[in-house]
Chains A and B, each alone.
Chain A
Amino acid sequence: MPRSAPARTAATGRFQVVDVHAFRRGQIASAVWPVFLVVAVMAAFAGEPRAVLFAALGLFAGWSLSGSV
């Protein structure tokens, strides 16, 4: 069984029992995946720093809207 603990949820601000492992996996995935994608773009567009910056900005803008529908 996963460990669980009360935590304040971002969506409601209330305390709920949270699956800590799933929560941490979500945090890590959210923070780490853009790095891998930017590295992949850097490899694909080596020598084109502007394209890499545009890619990073696009990723960041998209990520900042996570959870919104």
Chain B
Amino acid sequence: MLFPPVRRVSRSDLRVALVHMLGTVTGAVLMATAFWVLSGFVPPLSNSVRAAGVVIGAAVVWATKDAALFKRFRLPENQRQIPPEVLFRSGLSGPFQFGFEIGTGVRTYLPTGAPHVVAILLLLSAPTIVEAVVCGASFGVGRGVQQVATAVARNRDCFQEGWQRPVSAIGPFVSAITALGGVAVLL
């Protein structure tokens, strides 16, 4: 958590949250651009083959994250927390770097399979650079906006509990929902 649980009258909290979100967006756009470059090495395939690849990939992600294969295989994921020292550096460089590392998705936990499915989609769907950047920027916004909303909330602990409730409710279905969206992109 970036902020203390009870709101203090401080504009700097919102500034910290916005810088954090700038970091998440920057990190996510960097990763999306990397996947866009890698997608150039995928041989030409028909849309139906690409869609099948996304569905199979999402099924593997779902099975690994949420089902029976969970204990046997591990998806590429750096299962550790970003050290708190990163966040508490002086000035705004700490929140930016913290957000950047979260935005890349390769430096911390990934509780759902959605980022993996989006990565598979970016690799297989031959996106344009604009589509890849939009996808990455959106991921970064999605990753960082909770902190922006929390920065202006009065009771932050309860606000975050409320925020988490819908996320927890659909947790096991996230990979499948993302895969459906991916198929919609390809058809």
Q: Are A11 and B137 also in contact (CB < 8 A) when A26-B158, A61-B114, A68-B110 are?
A: no
Q: How far is the CB of B114 from chain A (nearest CB, A)?
A: 4
How many whole Å from A44's CB to the nearest CB in chain B? 9
Q: What mask results when residues 31 to 65 of chain B are scored 1 for a CB within 8 Å of chain A, else 0? A: 01000000000000000000000000000000000
Bound Cα distance from A6 to B147, whole angstroms: 25
User: Given A25-B153, A68-B109, A69-B102: A60 and B142 within 8 A (CB)?
Assistant: yes
A10-B168, A19-B158 known; A29 vs B142 contact (CB < 8 Å)? no
Cβ-defined contact, A66 with B139, below 8 A: no
- Shortest C-beta distance, B23 to chain A (Å), equals 12
Instruction: List chain A residues, Cβ under 8 A from B182.
Output: 57
Nearest Cβ distance between residue A37 and chain B, in whole angstroms? Answer: 7
CB < 8 Å neighbour of B138 from A7, A23, A26, A41? A41
Interface size bucket, A side? 35 or more
| Complex alpha-carbon distance, A46 and B156, angstroms | 36
Q: Could you say which interface size class chain B belongs to?
A: 35 or more
Nearest chain A CB to B164 CB, angstrom units? 5
Across chains A and B, the number of contacting residue pairs, with CB separation under 8 Å, is 179
Q: How far is the CB of A19 from chain B (nearest CB, A)?
A: 4
Task: Let me know if B149 and A29 touch, CB within 8 A.
Answer: yes
Q: Which residues of B sit under 8 angstroms from A37, Cβ to Cβ?
A: 138, 141
CB within 8 Å of B: which A38-69 residues:
41, 45, 48, 50-51, 53-69
Question: What 10 pairs between A and B have smallest CB-CB spacing?
Answer: A62-B142, A26-B162, A58-B138, A61-B114, A22-B158, A22-B155, A58-B139, A54-B135, A23-B162, A62-B143
Residue numbers of B with Cβ under 8 A of A are 1, 24, 28, 32, 81-82, 102, 108-112, 114-115, 117-118, 121, 127-128, 130-132, 134-146, 149, 153-156, 158-168, 170-171, 174, 177-178, 181-182, 184-185
Seen from chain A, the residues whose Cβ lies within 8 Å of a Cβ on chain B are: 2, 7, 9-11, 18-31, 33-34, 37, 41, 45, 48, 50-51, 53-69
